[in-house]
């Protein structure tokens, strides 16, 4: 249904302001208070109406509109920001007695009783937010306290941060940007699947996300923020205490953690800290302590600060929750890059809300440094309250039966020699016939972000290997139905579907194949960069390290890894057999040197919105690129086709508005049935 757009600009301006205010209210209810008042469909309808108005009246688009949260191109670097009011660090306390000493110093200096505010210490990255006349104008990192970096574009992507306050005040507030635990778990799962290093904890993940030069990357990380301090306000804020300042900030629409509490003496503070010691693990974000602040702003002023930290505040740091247990064995696993990783297996312990029995030991050097032996009594904790790790052994409690661990010099799966490069800590199996490497390589090759062979999961890969039907990825393209029907629980229809999926994967664009090959250090993004730059696999294979490092995103280590991979006889043989099987080795996107101009959709730009039932967006984009089209993230007058699935959002409304206003009369709007019909007409077997 086409959304009715006001007939005059004055009416459109008034309606747009109502919509923006309504959307901001619901953003606050959802992202800050976790108390949504309307359904997702109703929210999407508000966004669609606003987008339609802005498309019809471009002059009404404002930088702080909810439709403008993510945009722009990657920055070349971050500008420096000088903090007019320094962002000081806090002194730490690790015991109740240290808190009592802090309280004594405060009372002696202030000359009387003192009230304290307790706030959970969020484990993230300190940021400063500045609003002028109620509008967000700058977000910055803490840096060294005096000079930080301007990360405004990334801060704007965080939906908990209001772009416009509820009052037109000029203020600067301090806060903590953090990554919620579920978002952190998803991010590490994605990085592990693409062979990228994992983030050690949510704090590192949040910091790394906010320092991305491309705000679209930051937007994908699902960060959030809690603001915890009012640095300055113009006009002066109507508050005399820190707790009043927090309440005032919340009324302005800023995200303030609602768990803060006010107490009259330090013993109440200590009981509050003890009460949260276990309860904090139930929160959806990581905390590593409690911040205790003098409530009175006048007393804060009297106490002042040292060069490094305020005298009126202290951070109580919870000791990492640890447990003692017995290390029963060390298991070795071989990843798809050949890295052999030791994993500690120990008696179950309960840590930070879950039962833990395993923890990665990462490499032989770590085991040696921490003197960890099989049979040891060990201390285990969760790094960042999330990832289990072995902290140390307890050698003073050994019985003499403990066994020192030695990394084998041969692969635990294929018994071939292991190798260790001079600049690496990992031992690797480089035998291309290693069963572990073959299995992991096949799983990766068939995965959703690589060749996307639907239905070919770990179970079937194990069965194919067990029956000797495949040795590498090229063998997948020689499978026959009679061979598949040999497998237990493999029926005729399932075999047909799997063969169809394998056949479809032949037409993937080059970047999927490159990622699927599992070249060390080449993740999904780098694969797309290489495919776009070279256009054809043969051109990439002929490139030397100097040619590769001329590409901005490709560093020396990645270039060396790429050249080494393609120099190997095994890799060259595999690629030749993939070519013979009919697997595409050309980049099909419309933005690369290998793009063909004779394909049916050459020169046409598609935009995908909403949910498709027959395929996900990546698969839909792959089909579009296979037929010469390109996929854009936003709708403009240059868009050729908008494919709208279920719950299509503001992109669909903008497309309709452009068509209705006559600004893009050639723009076509397809539903999923139209899209599938067009694909089938071009010969796609869906």
Active-site positions read 121
| Nearest residue to 12 via CA among 62, 52, 44, 70 | 52
H helix intervals, 467-542: 473-476, 481-484, 492-505, 510-516, 524-534, 537-541
Distance from C-alpha of 106 to C-alpha of 313, rounded to nearest angstrom = 9
**To the nearest 5 percent, what fractions of the chain are helix, strand and coil?**
40, 20, 40
Q: How many CB atoms lie within 10 A of CB 375?
A: 16
Separation of first and last alpha carbons in the chain: 28
Q: For residues 372 and 511, what is the distance between their CA atoms, to the nearest angstrom?
A: 42
Would strands 605-609 and 641-644 be described as parallel, antiparallel, or unpaired?
A: parallel
Do the beta carbons of residue 655 and residue 642 sit within 8 Å? yes
Here the tokens at position 399 are 């019985």
Write down the H helix ranges in 128-260.
152-155, 181-193, 202-210, 215-220, 242-251
Of the candidates 341, 337, 83, 370, which has an alpha carbon nearest to the alpha carbon of residue 195? 337
Pair of tokens at residue 375? 């049979």
Residue 234, C-beta contacts closer than 8 angstroms, at least 6 positions apart? 169, 170, 171
What is the C-alpha separation between 8 and 401, in angstroms, rounded?
Answer: 86
Q: How far is CA 314 from CA 9, 272, 392, 652, in A?
A: 54, 15, 29, 51
3 state DSSP class of 275: helix
Query: Rounded to whole angstroms, how far apart are CA atoms 271 and 618?
Result: 52
CA dist 280 and 296 (Å) reads: 27
Print the SS3 string covering 297-316.
Answer: HHHHHHHCECCCCECCEEEE
Nearest partner of 507 among 469, 452, 576, judged by Cα:
452
Both structure tokens of 368: 């040696």
Q: What is the CA radius of gyration of the chain?
A: 29
The span from the CA of 123 to the CA of 177, in Å, is 9
Residue given tokens 């000029």 in the structure block? 170
Q: Rounded CA gap, 374 and 256, in Å?
A: 47
Residue given tokens 């960060």 in the structure block: 223
Question: What are residue 260's phi and psi, to 5 degrees?
Answer: -65, 150
- Which pair of structure tokens corresponds to residue 232? 């300055």
Cβ atoms of 164 and 24 within 8 Å: the answer is yes
One DSSP character per residue, 344-372 reads: EEEEEEEETTEEEEEEE---HHHHHHTT-
- 656: its two tokens: 């309709």
């Amino acid at each position: 249904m086409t959304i009715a757009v006001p007939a005059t600009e004055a009416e459109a301006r008034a309606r747009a302001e109502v919509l923006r205010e309504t959307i901001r209210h619901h953003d606050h209810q959802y992202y800050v208070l976790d108390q949504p008042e309307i359904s997702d469909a109703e929210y999407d309808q508000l966004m669609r109406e606003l987008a339609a108005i802005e498309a019809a009246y471009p002059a009404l688009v404002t930088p702080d509109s909810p439709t403008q949260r993510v945009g722009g191109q990657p920055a070349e670097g971050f500008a420096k920001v000088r903090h007019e009011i320094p962002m000081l660090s806090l002194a730490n306390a690790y015991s109740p007695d240290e808190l009592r000493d802090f309280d004594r110093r405060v009372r002696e200096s202030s000359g009387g009783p003192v009230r304290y505010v307790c706030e959970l210490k969020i484990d993230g990255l300190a940021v400063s937010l500045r609003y002028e006349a109620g509008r967000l104008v700058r977000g910055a990192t803490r840096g060294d306290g005096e000079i930080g970096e301007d990360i405004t574009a990334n801060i704007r992507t965080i939906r908990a941060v209001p772009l416009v306050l509820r009052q037109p005040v000029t203020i600067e507030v301090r806060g903590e940007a953090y990554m919620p635990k579920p978002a952190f778990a998803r991010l590490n799962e994605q990085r592990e699947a693409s062979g990228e290093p994992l983030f050690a904890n949510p704090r590192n993940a949040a910091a790394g996300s906010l320092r991305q030069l491309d705000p679209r990357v930051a937007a994908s990380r699902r960060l959030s923020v809690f603001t915890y301090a009012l640095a300055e306000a113009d006009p002066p804020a109507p508050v005399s205490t820190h707790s009043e300042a927090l309440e005032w900030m919340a009324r302005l629409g800023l995200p303030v953690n609602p768990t803060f509490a006010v107490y009259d003496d330090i013993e109440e503070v200590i009981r509050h800290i003890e009460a949260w010691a276990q309860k904090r693990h139930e929160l959806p974000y990581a905390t590593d302590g409690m911040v205790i602040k003098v409530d009175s702003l006048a007393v804060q002023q009297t106490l002042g600060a040292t060069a490094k930290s305020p005298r009126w505040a202290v951070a109580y740091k919870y000791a990492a929750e640890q447990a003692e247990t017995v290390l029963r064995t060390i298991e070795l696993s071989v990843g798809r890059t050949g890295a052999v990783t030791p994993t500690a297996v120990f008696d179950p312990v309960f840590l930070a809300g879950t039962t833990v029995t395993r923890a990665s030991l990462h490499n032989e050097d770590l085991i040696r440094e921490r003197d960890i032996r099989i049979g040891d009594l060990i201390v285990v904790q969760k790094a960042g309250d999330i990832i289990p790790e072995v902290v140390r052994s307890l050698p003073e409690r050994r019985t003499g039966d403990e066994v020192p661990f030695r990394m084998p010099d041969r692969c635990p799966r294929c018994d071939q020699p292991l190798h260790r490069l001079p600049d690496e800590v990992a031992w690797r199996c480089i035998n291309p016939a290693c069963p572990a490497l073959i299995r992991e390589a096949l799983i990766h090759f068939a995965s959703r972000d690589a060749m996307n062979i639907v239905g070919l999961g770990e179970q079937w890969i194990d069965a194919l290997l067990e029956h000797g039907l495949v040795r590498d990825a090229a063998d997948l393209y020689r499978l026959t139905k009679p061979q598949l029907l040999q497998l237990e629980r493999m029926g005729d229809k399932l075999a047909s579907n799997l063969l169809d999926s394998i056949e479809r994967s032949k037409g993937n664009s080059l970047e999927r194949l490159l990622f699927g090959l599992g070249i060390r250090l080449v993740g999904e993004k780098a694969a797309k960069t290489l495919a776009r730059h070279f256009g054809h696999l043969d051109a990439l294979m002929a490139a030397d390290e100097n040619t590769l490092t001329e590409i901005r995103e490709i560093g020396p280590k990645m270039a060396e890894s790429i050249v080494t991979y393609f120099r190997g006889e095994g890799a060259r043989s595999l690629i030749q057999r993939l070519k013979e099987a009919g697997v595409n080795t050309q980049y099909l996107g419309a933005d690369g040197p290998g793009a063909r101009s004779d394909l049916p959709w050459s020169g046409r730009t598609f935009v995908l919105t909403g949910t498709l039932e027959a395929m996900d967006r990546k698969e839909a984009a792959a089909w579009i690129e296979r037929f010469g089209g390109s996929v854009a993230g936003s709708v403009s007058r240059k868009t050729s086709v908008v494919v709208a699935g279920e719950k299509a959002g503001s992109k669909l409304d903008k497309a309709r508005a452009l068509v209705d206003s006559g600004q893009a009369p050639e723009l076509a709007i397809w539903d999923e049935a139209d899209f599938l019909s067009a694909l089938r007409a071009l010969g796609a077997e869906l």
